[in-house]
Structure 1
Amino acid sequence: METITLIPANSLLTATPEEGRQLAIKMARLIIKATQPDAQIREKLRDVYANDAMMLIAIGQTVATEFATIAAANDYWHVTR
Structure 2
Amino acid sequence: MNTKWLSSILVAIFSIAAIVCIIMGYFNFAVLAMTIMFALSNGFRAKSFKEQGYVKEAKWMKYMAIFFTIASIIVLYINLTD
Larger-Rg structure: 1
Normalised TM-score (structure 1): 0.41
If asked which structure has higher relative contact order (CA below 8 Å, sep 6+), I would say 1
In terms of fraction of residues, the more helix-rich structure is 2
